[in-house]
Structure 1
């Protein structure tokens, strides 16, 4: 039996067009709304009671959190547009290049982090965890959308398929 090439299973593509994606989408959009409501209400009130150092950190981290959430929301909207057929894969890949997923700091390393309001810290932690999940899905999708090199050796091609199927997520 001869084979002309390997057809890898698109696990990430299936995950990105599934009920799990819809739950991820809902979680992300809800987090955007909750964060906006917090920053405009309880967060604004709480920030007035912070010392100068913590108030400055709160201001900077609020901007970082808002930026992170806008990048995540943009990614979710792009993926949803692809899933619904509003955009082609090429359009999504081109727009995806404009996004910056990751690159946020590690809040635990900031000395005054514990002085920030607990509600803010909870939202920032949730955003970081959501970003990690989205980044992993995005990396899988980008790998699967990359043009693979032709495999001359069928054994190597099968090993590559197995490595792809059992790769860490």
Structure 2
């Protein structure tokens, strides 16, 4: 059974972004945070966690969709509150996306993870309308 077209592209994008974020945070972010000083460093840590939250939520949602597609979950089960995309309060906050005091690499991850989260939220909303209404 072939997965929906959106799945392959979105999954690949999310996975690539997760790997990029991991590498950035492992090899670059710590050094930049130390060089930035306490206030900016704290903001960097908070925003790195926000990127991680967005990507974790997106991957969990995509894996749930894969379970639906292979018959492990029904569409209704996948749309139960416990399986839905969550964390909107944290994930949709883009207050510091354009903060020039943050390193450009982190700002790029912030922007792309935000756009991916929003896109997945729209996909989920489309599914809710189709399946539950």
Q: TM-score range by the shorter chain?
A: 0.7 to 0.9
**Aligned ranges for residues 139-158 of structure 1 at < 5 Å?**
139-147=125-133
SS in 2 for 1:128: helix
Q: Provide the secondary structure at the position in 1 that maps to 2:36.
A: coil
User: Using CA pairs below 8 Å that are at least 6 residues apart, which structure has the higher relative contact order?
Assistant: 1
Q: Is 1:101–1:135's contact at 8 Å kept on the other side of the alignment?
A: no
TM-score normalised over the length of structure 1? 0.69
User: Aligned partners of 1:138, 1:37: CA distance in 2, in Å?
Assistant: 29
2-structure distance, mates of 1:58, 1:108: 9
**Aligned equivalents of 1:31 and 1:89: distance in 2?**
26
Quick check: which has more Rg, 1 or 2?
1
What is the CA–CA distance in structure 2 between the aligned matches of 1:121 and 1:30, rounded to whole Å?
17
More helix by share: 2
In 2 relative to 1, CA 145–125 (structure 1 residues): closer, same or farther, beyond 3 Å? Answer: same
- 1:72 and 1:101 in contact (8 A); partners too: no
Aligned residues: 128
Do the aligned residues in 2 keep the contact of 1:54 with 1:116 (CA within 8 Å)? Answer: yes
Q: 1:48 is paired with a residue of what secondary structure?
A: helix
Distance in 2 (CA, whole Å) between partners of 1:126 and 1:79 is 21
Matches within 5 A, 1:90-109: 90-94=76-80, 95-97=82-84, 99-100=85-86, 102-103=88-89, 104-108=92-96
Contact 2:64 2:78 in 1 (8 A): yes
Which residues of structure 1 form unaligned runs of 5+? 1-16, 148-169
Which secondary structure does the structure 1 equivalent of 2:86 belong to? coil
